[in-house]
């Protein structure tokens, strides 16, 4: 029943994006068949994984390995050229666009951890053992190799990291 609830949330999160719906639903079904992740796949899960790879990776051009840890309500806009390393981790309510790469830096196995509510623009590249804090935003085309704080922004190549703006506190007596 839990899988059905997650599938329903994913379909709603990707409303109006049939390619995103197909990719995320395919990932969820393959991921569920693949469990437990710390052991080799069950023999009956292999055909599911093969169909998933053929459909999502080869036909749709979206590479999300079935062992990747992804939170609820993943939103994929367009998606072609999207590549996620199987060691990366994505939180809830993450939004991805086409041409994004989330992977290791080539110097080890450390991959990005993307926390809840992060919005990543088209053609952004996130590499290495970095953390992108909750509700941060990554601009289109950014190359991110350093941590981004919660609510922060990353823009440019190499990315310039902007701290979140503090929210002004309005006191009761000073409401002009």
Stretch among 43-47, 97-101, 153-157, 161-165 having the lowest mean pLDDT:
161-165
d(CA 50, CA 135) in angstroms, rounded, equals 34
What percentage of the chain exceeds 70 in pLDDT?
A: 92
In a domain, 170, yes or no: no
- Domain harbouring 102, CATH code: 2.160.10.10
Residues in the chain: 176
For the chain, the 3-state helix, strand and coil shares in percent, each to the nearest 5, are 25, 20, 55
pTM here is 0.87
CB atoms within 10 A of CB 110: 16
DSSP H/E element including 95: strand 95-96
Q: What angle do CA 165, 169, 170 make, to 5 degrees?
A: 140
In a domain, 149, yes or no: yes
What percentage of the chain exceeds 90 in pLDDT?
A: 76
Q: Is 101 exposed, middle or buried (0-12, 13-18, 19+ CB in 10 A)?
A: middle
- Contacting residues for 59 by C-beta, under 8 A, at least 6 apart: none
In a domain, 173, yes or no: no
pLDDT digits (tens, 9 = 90+) for 79-127: 899 999 999 999 999 999 999 999 998 776 899 999 999 999 999 999 9
In a domain, 176, yes or no: no
In a domain, 169, yes or no: no
Which residue range(s) make up the domain with 36? 2-162
Cα 91 versus chain centre, distance: 7
DSSP H/E element including 34: helix 18-34
In a domain, 168, yes or no: no
The count of structural domains within the chain is 1
In a domain, 167, yes or no: no
């Amino acid at each position: 029943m839990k899988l059905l609830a997650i599938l329903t949330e994913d379909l709603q999160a990707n409303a109006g994006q049939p390619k995103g719906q197909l990719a995320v639903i395919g990932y969820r079904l393959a991921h569920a068949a693949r469990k437990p992740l710390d052991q080799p796949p069950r023999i009956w899960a292999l055909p599911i994984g093969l169909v998933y790879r053929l459909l999502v990776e080869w036909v749709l051009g979206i590479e999300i390995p079935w062992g990747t840890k992804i939170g609820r309500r993943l939103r994929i806009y367009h998606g072609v050229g999207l590549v996620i390393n199987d060691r990366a981790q994505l939180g809830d309510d993450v939004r991805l666009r086409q041409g994004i790469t989330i992977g290791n830096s080539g110097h080890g196995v450390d991959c990005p951890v993307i926390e809840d509510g992060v919005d990543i623009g088209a053609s952004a590249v996130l590499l290495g053992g970095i953390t992108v804090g909750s509700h941060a935003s990554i601009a289109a085309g950014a190359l991110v190799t350093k941590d981004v704080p919660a609510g922060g922004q990353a823009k440019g190549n190499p990315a310039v990291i902007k701290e979140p703006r503090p929210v002004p506190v309005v006191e009761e007596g000073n409401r002009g």
